[in-house]
Structure 1
Amino acid sequence: MATPPDNRMIIAIGAGLAVVAAVVLALIFGAGREQPTEAPPASKGGLTVDLAEAQSLEPTRELRCFVNGQFVGMATLTDCAQRNGLATDALDVGFDASGSLTAAPTASLAPPPALPPTDLAEVVPPVVTDEPTTGQPAPQPAATGGFCQRYTGSEWRSVSNSMSLNACVQALYAGTCVRPGDAQYGRWNDLTLRLVPGRVEQSNDNSRFRTLVEQNRSCAIPEVG
């Protein structure tokens, strides 16, 4: 007759199998929780700068610098301003036609053109009208009227020979914006007009300009005067 198995032996074998199973499970889950020794991809990539405004430029970031309309090399915004003898916030910063970040004094990439002939009749022929039959003198243009001209290409072209300053500014620049560093020029009587980013300027000597009127972001210009 067979002897019944010892219950204590069965319990010991079962306990040993449970310990082995626990060790195997610990190794599996422990390996899954291991941290990678390699740095994450984001930490290895270069810093991407989202340039929303010139004020966000890092002090050490270099950009194309222009002085007197000439490219003088790469420089930080502060260095470029010093080369131009201006404060940092006096520079226009933006992307040029090649997509490169550029800094330049206002309109330095488009210096004033030579003035039109002093005899405006050479540019705009006088309007000839028949003498009135009533004997009354011919009506004269309003005192605020004047010659309005636009510089385009490489020459001055007439817009009107009797137009107010406001009408001239609107005819020249309303709805038009220019890129940083660029400018558009015009004339009203003896004033040189210049459209630069954010404003229209005026000059009595075709050299020193001052603000005439501000321009909003939609390129509209308020009434002048």
Structure 2
Amino acid sequence: MALPKDNRTVLIVGGGLAVVAAVAAALVFSGGRGKPTEPPPASQGGLTIDLAEAPSLEPARELRCFVNGQFVGQATLADCAQRNGVATSALDVGLDATGALAAAPTAAFAPPPQLPANPAVEPAPTDHGTEVVESGRPAPAAATACLRHTGSEWRSIGNGMSMGACVQALYAGTCLRPGEAEYGRWGDTSLRLVPRRVEQSSDNSRFRTLAQQDRNCQFPELGR
């Protein structure tokens, strides 16, 4: 039986719309397949951790352990501390030269150098360029020198600056890896940069934290 002309028109239009819908759906589901897809960040070299933000490790998590400056294998933080004969808090944790999470004793790769032979101070000049000492009174305060240890010698950074300014001049923008350390002097105070913090010592042996570094390797609490 022949369909009325109007019904044939409806079927033709409906069929056309169905074809268009099918093509559109295919484009939606196949969209982007021809484009190169980027792998997730975790597959691009593994987890990356900012050195200035040491992670809080799970007790069972293993990391690269260094003893006496040598890599001794994977170990938990507690096991690595035991192998080094130190407390867990005495380990620096961060990324080593391979980019992997590692732990090593503080300043394990760079013990304190010998102190400079000459006093790290210079007399503060008066308005006339000479030092004036009144009877029964001490000389004016010396201008404290700021020194950097380059690995073989001490070099002057400047005089008359505060301790905070000396630290900024020495270490602002510098981040270290686990076990590394850099040394400086502010007057008769030893300064030591280690991962995530700078430390101070009056005897060049026992160091305590002076300021923490932020994720940009800066010391915001010391100011400028």
Aligned position for 1:74:
73
- After TM superposition, give the deviation of residue 66 of structure 1 in Å: 2.5
* Alignment check: 8 A CA contact 2:197 2:211 kept: yes
Alignment equivalent of 2:186, drawn from 185, 188, 193: 188
Map Cα deviations across residues 156-200 of structure 1 (whole Å, 9 max, x no partner): 101123322122111111222222221111001111101112211
SS in structure 1 at match of 2:83: helix
Give me the CA root mean square deviation: 3.7
d(CA) in 2 for partners of 1:207 and 1:132?
40
Aligned residues: 169
Aligned position for 1:223:
222
Matching residue's letter, 1:112 = P
d(CA) in 1 for partners of 2:98 and 2:144?
39
Gaps of 5+ in 2: 1-44
Aligned position for 1:167:
165
d(CA) in 2 for partners of 1:194 and 1:185?
5
| Structure with greater Cα Rg | 1
Q: Percent identity?
A: 52
- After TM superposition, give the deviation of residue 75 of structure 1 in Å: 4.5
Map Cα deviations across residues 52-82 of structure 1 (whole Å, 9 max, x no partner): 5654467273x44333x43162241222111
Aligned position for 1:158:
156
How does the TM-score come out when normalised to structure 1?
0.60
Residues 75-84 or 49-58, more deviating: 49-58
d(CA) in 1 for partners of 2:66 and 2:208?
21
- After TM superposition, give the deviation of residue 100 of structure 1 in Å: 5.0
How does the TM-score come out when normalised to structure 2?
0.60
d(CA) in 2 for partners of 1:168 and 1:194?
12
Higher RCO by CA contacts (8 Å cutoff, separation 6 or greater): 2
Aligned position for 2:84:
84
Gaps of 5+ in 1: 1-47
Map Cα deviations across residues 15-60 of structure 1 (whole Å, 9 max, x no partner): xxxxxxxxxxxxxxxxxxxxxxxxxxxxxxxxx9747565446727
* Alignment check: 8 A CA contact 2:181 2:193 kept: yes
* Alignment check: 8 A CA contact 1:64 1:71 kept: no
Matching residue's letter, 1:80 = C
Matching residue's letter, 1:175 = G
Aligned position for 1:59:
60
- After TM superposition, give the deviation of residue 143 of structure 1 in Å: 3.7
